[in-house]
A and B are shown apart, each in its own frame.
Chain A
Amino acid sequence: MGNLKVTPLNAEHRALGAKMVDFGGWDMPVQYTSILDEHIAVRTRAGLFDVSHMGEIWIEGPKALDLVQRLSSNDASKLAVGQIHYAGLLTGDGCFVDDMLVHKMADDRYLLVVNASNTDKDFAWVQKNAKGFDAKVTNASPQTAQIAIQGPKAVEILQPLVPDADLSAVKYYWFTYGTLLGEKRLLARTGYTGEDGYEIYLPPSKAAELWRLLLERGKSQGLIPAGLGARDTLRLEACMALYGNDIDDTTTVLEADLGWILKLNKGCDFNGKAALEKQKAAGVERKLVAFELTERGIPRHGMECYSGGKKVGHVTSGTQAPFLKKPLGMCYLPTALSQPGATFEVDIRGKRVPAKVVPKPHYKRTK
């Protein structure tokens, strides 16, 4: 407990009576009142998340793009200034050092947003790869707080506080700058919930004031603070991968069924390219799929999957989905079993419960 890292909003969470947990070395709120209520609030109204633990790594300089291209599965040369995309930060084997959001700030400036507990590892990996590139790499995580406002009412709640930017005009996975509490802030229309919303980047010293202001102004539209518990169930309904569960440094981009972030023909070499070309040519043996249980039970991370009495994979994420109200998850299965409709069983404490593969994502918002 004594060694846990805290975000600048730690005292706010405690004052709100949040249940705190050790999340990858961070003292974070898992819930304020109820994971179910917080989940439903984000799906139907809006929720406020402290995501200050996330890592921010800047890559700047004449060869910034070349370095990003070396590190990333995606093709950053296709990004316009102001645009963001999801990508894999790849190992030489085409697996994940981490997953990340790549923001193009300028032709020679990129911002990578990475997972909190991976930040130090990621930064070391980026630095190691930066040798020979004319680019400066900075870990700005300790100087950067992040607040996410997510849900169908998020833009409506945030807009009146940002007089100089039209937030509804910004496309999903683009960012803008707007004046919030008197200072220009980076406002990115991104999130990890499957809902519309913004992720707001600001200095730690300004975080508490904004947090309180948003909660106060959003109250009448049903905004409530939401913890990591709801964040996890929300992202799982939306089939967004969680590093350490669904993807890690033993799963390739192709196995994770993230072919859409893999640009083998981006016109340069990159970490993992050769391994992924080879795997693509040979065909993947297993694939990350979405599934539902067809009988009662709740699938959980680590449970084994069976077909014809043989172990064929394991559940990477599972829950009783709060909005969809059914037991579902994601798991790795042999490619032959990976098509929607395929059936298998999940071993829940010794009982084999029938399951079926379903199309991804479990949940998609109506625009």
Chain B
Amino acid sequence: MSIPSGLKYSKTHEWVKVEGGVGTVGITDFAQHELGDIVFVEAPQPGDAVSAGTQMGTVESVKAVSELNSPVSGTVAETNDALVDHPEFLNQDPYGNGWIVKVTLSNVKELEGLMDADAYGKYVAESGH
């Protein structure tokens, strides 16, 4: 399972990579593996407000519907439209082509409440997986 360093992770298995006040958000390799084949992604659109720890969309695999939470608060700057036709990017490249939204952060301090790669690795291991 891949957990790149340099990203921040939420307990609900989203990652965020922050560059210049903008956070790119996706789901982790662990999450995509648990879900199985992802066939549908419903994400907020540019201009939508998102709030840390709150549902901002839905990720559906063949068998299951899963809530997509935002790990950060702010305004959506960009949505990965490629996922409309290629939801499988979340399985194939969760930290790359499978990014979901870019959010202009409204509260950078929130990032302190998220885990780094080491802490997330332990969190996943400890939750029995």
0/1 interface trace, chain B 13-54, chain A, CB 8 Å (1 if under):
000000000000000000000001101100000000000000
Q: Does A135 contact B (CB under 8 A)?
A: no
A298 to B64, CA, bound (A): 10
* Contact in complex: A298, B36 (CB < 8 Å): no
Known: A298-B60, A320-B60, A349-B58. A35 touches B37 (CB 8 A): yes
Residue in B closest to A233 when the chains form the complex, CB atoms: B62
Is B65 engaged at the interface, CB distance under 8 Å to the other chain? yes
Bound Cα distance A31, B61 (Å): 13
Q: B63 contacts which of A30, A37, A296 (Cβ < 8 Å)?
A: A30
CB-CB contacts below 8 Å: A270-306 with B: 296-298, 300
Write out the residue numbers on chain A whose beta carbons fall within 8 Å of the beta carbon of B37: 34-37, 322
B65 near A300: Cβ-Cβ < 8 Å: yes
CB-CB under 8 A from A233, the residues of chain B are 62
Assuming the contacts A320-B60, A349-B58, asked whether A297 and B65 have C-beta atoms less than 8 A apart, the reply is no
Is A322 within 8 A of B58, CB to CB? Answer: no
Q: How far is the CB of A272 from chain B (nearest CB, A)?
A: 33
Measured between C-beta atoms, what is the minimum distance from A60 to chain B in Å? 40
* Nearest B-chain residue to A37, judged by Cβ: B37
A334 in contact (CB, < 8 A): no
Interface residues on A, range: 10 to 19
**Residue picked from B39, B61, B62, B65, most chain A C-beta under 10 Å:** B62
Residues of B that sit less than 8 Å from A by CB: 36-37, 39-40, 58, 60-63, 65, 84
Can you pick out 22 interface pairs between chain A and chain B where the beta carbons lie within 8 Å of each other? A31-B36, A34-B36, A35-B36, A36-B37, A36-B39, A37-B37, A229-B36, A229-B63, A232-B63, A233-B62, A296-B84, A297-B40, A298-B39, A298-B60, A298-B65, A300-B65, A319-B62, A320-B40, A320-B62, A322-B37, A322-B62, A349-B58
Ranked nearest first, the 10 interchain pairs of A and B with the lowest CB-CB distance are A320-B39, A36-B37, A35-B62, A298-B40, A298-B60, A34-B37, A35-B37, A229-B63, A35-B36, A320-B40
In addition to A30-B63, A35-B36, A37-B37, 17 A-B residue pairs with Cβ atoms within 8 Å of each other are A31-B36, A34-B37, A35-B62, A35-B63, A36-B37, A36-B62, A229-B36, A229-B62, A232-B63, A233-B62, A296-B84, A298-B40, A298-B65, A300-B65, A320-B62, A322-B39, A322-B62
